[in-house]
Structure 1
Amino acid sequence: MSVTTHPVSLRKVTDDEADIRLDRWFRRHFPAITQGAIQKLCRTGQVRVDGKRADAATRLLPGQAVRIPPLPTTAAVAKPVQALDPREQKDLERMVLYRDDHVIVLDKPQGLPTQGGPGITRHLDGMLDGLRFGSEHRPRLVHRLDRETSGVLVVARTPGVAAKLAAAFRGRTVEKTYWAVVVGRPVPPEGRIALDMVRTDGFRGERAAVAGPYDTDTAHSITDFRTLDHAGRKLAWLELSPLTGRTHQLRVHCAAIGAPILGDLPYGTEREGRNTALVDGLSEQLHLHARRISLPHPAGGRLTVEAELPPHMAETFRTLGFSVPAARPAVRR
């Protein structure tokens, strides 16, 4: 059976695609083609940049013309847009805290997974077609929050922006601020937690722990914290600023200083038949919220966005008498 192919064409590299490798650029536009096929097309001179032969690792510049040779029709078929249920679409749009041509910042609700996994059929990554807002590009996640953590989550609107933001997160130029209610009152009330951590496999999925002296494959983790308010010695409101991004870092760090996050049963301990992360009369949901994010905007300046507390945390704050300032409007300077 013969395979229909597309004719030779030229495609311009956009400003958004600057400095991307040729093979990665090719896979963005033709996701069904394999890496091996791209390398062969380059090696045989069928793919060219500004009329010249180029290898797969060539970095592209805005305005360059990439020669697209005849490809099987299947390699050029774009992934169909996944339509959402109208109610789900409205719920998704209500999450938007900020939007421009480059980024979208969401207020992820507690309980919604960021990505799929075993037994997870509904997750934010699977809903991102609903945030195209007329763009040809499907938005992309550039970081994640745990399922039970609420708050600010950044999404890139184009592949080039996704690459820039991913680099910013890796380079630690992104400032993240979390709020947590913890069981206990840290002494001293502020400071830095620096621990080696190790990943473990728990009964309900991936876990993390403070590394022991004989653990291998450990990762160093750092969090700055300060107490914003407290209710006697039993509960405290902490501001947490992670300087590294390890799995469950904030949850492990709070437990390590003897103040597990309220509702965090996996990292609480059993004492007298009760988990130390629970308090009578208060919600058993995890009390960890991504309050603020500040990051270099891909088009220049710095973007800062805040999210209001989720309902269960707002109720706990009222019960404990903590005075919470309203989230400030998003600002780019």
Structure 2
Amino acid sequence: MTRNRPIPTIKPEDADYIRSLMIHEDDQILVFNKPSGLAVQTAGGRGQSLDFLLWAFAKSNGKRPRLVHRIDSGTSGVLVVARTQPAAAFLSDQFAKRTLSKTYTALISGRLPDTNEGTAATPLRKVPSDRGGREKMIAAKPGEKGAQSAQTHWRILSRTESHALIEASPVTGRMHQIRAHMAELGVPILGDRIYGAGKLSAARLMLHAARLDLRHPDGMPLAFEAPLPEDFLAECRSAGLKA
């Protein structure tokens, strides 16, 4: 999609790797099941990231797929990429106008809510992170400088006294929104090094982008799903939860 750019050399094993993550391909979009630990993008474009590996799909004139959607490095699951400029504009418009639907699965722990579903609507604002990373989100008062409206619907799928498997559907798309809202509720996501106990609770962030409902650039409604990875299922079993 970017013209007259030199094409970096992609090792055959890296090209095979990025293709192994693909769950859908057509002439306008690509959809991947991103593993936890693979960054979507890195500072300065250096180092391995999904964005860098997209060079495996570059054309000879330097045009390549473009990111329109991002999830945290530690988050696994569905991620869509545009292959053409019109497709990128079409998908970006859906993200901006919130006309698509994102569904996540997460493992949380703490003093669980008495109810099995609800909506977190605490506004959030960015502050420098004191636990790794450049920024984090904290609760803010409505109208406070830097406050951004944020809304996350959540539903408990399975629970014990101290742990739960939840489905979370963010209405807005703020940075770390689900992570910050769960921490604000007193039930941080397992493995969250910024908002929770980090590796003391799980080896990685137990947040999975399970489903993405959107309209294809040709107008057709589509839904893409990624099954829970084995490490996530193992953590469920360890906590006594049904996945």
CA positional deviation for 1:285: 1.1
Q: Which of 187, 197, 205 in structure 1 is aligned with 2:124?
A: 197
Q: CA RMSD in A?
A: 2.3
Partner SS, residue 265 of structure 1: coil
State which structure, 1 or 2, has the greater radius of gyration over its C-alpha atoms. 1
Higher relative contact order (CA 8 A, sep 6+): 2
Is the aligned partner of 1:287 residue 2:206?
A: yes
Q: Which of 189, 201, 219 in structure 2 is aligned with 1:300?
A: 219
Residues 80-117 of structure 1 deviation map (CA, whole Å, 9 limit, x = unaligned): 22231111111100110111111110011101111112
Q: Which of 12, 28, 41 in structure 2 is aligned with 1:86?
A: 12
* Cα distance in 2 between the residues matched to 1:300 and 1:164: 10
State the one-letter code of the partner of 2:191: G
Q: Which residue of 1 aligns with 2:113?
A: 186
State the one-letter code of the partner of 1:177: T
* Cα distance in 2 between the residues matched to 1:90 and 1:135: 22
Residues 154-197 of structure 1 deviation map (CA, whole Å, 9 limit, x = unaligned): 00010110011000111111100000000132232101110111
TM-score by length of 1: 0.67
* Cα distance in 1 between the residues matched to 2:205 and 2:68: 23
Of the structure 1 ranges 219-228 and 181-190, higher mean CA displacement relative to structure 2 is found in 181-190
CA positional deviation for 1:131: 2.8
Q: 5+ unaligned residues in a row in structure 1: which ranges?
A: 1-27, 32-77, 269-274, 325-333
TM-score by length of 2: 0.91
Q: Which of 235, 238, 243 in structure 1 is aligned with 2:163?
A: 235
State the one-letter code of the partner of 2:64: R
Q: Which of 28, 51, 56 in structure 2 is aligned with 1:125?
A: 51
State the one-letter code of the partner of 2:136: R
Partner SS, residue 266 of structure 1: coil
Question: How many residues align structurally?
Answer: 240
Residues 274-310 of structure 1 deviation map (CA, whole Å, 9 limit, x = unaligned): x49844xxx3311000000010111121110111223
Q: Which residue of 2 aligns with 1:108?
A: 34
Moved over 3 A (4+): 132-137, 212-215, 275-279, 320-324
User: Against the structure 1 CA distance between its residues 293 and 138, is the aligned structure 2 distance closer, same or farther, given a 3 Å change threshold?
Assistant: same
User: Against the structure 1 CA distance between its residues 277 and 260, is the aligned structure 2 distance closer, same or farther, given a 3 Å change threshold?
Assistant: farther
Q: 5+ unaligned residues in a row in structure 2: which ranges?
A: none
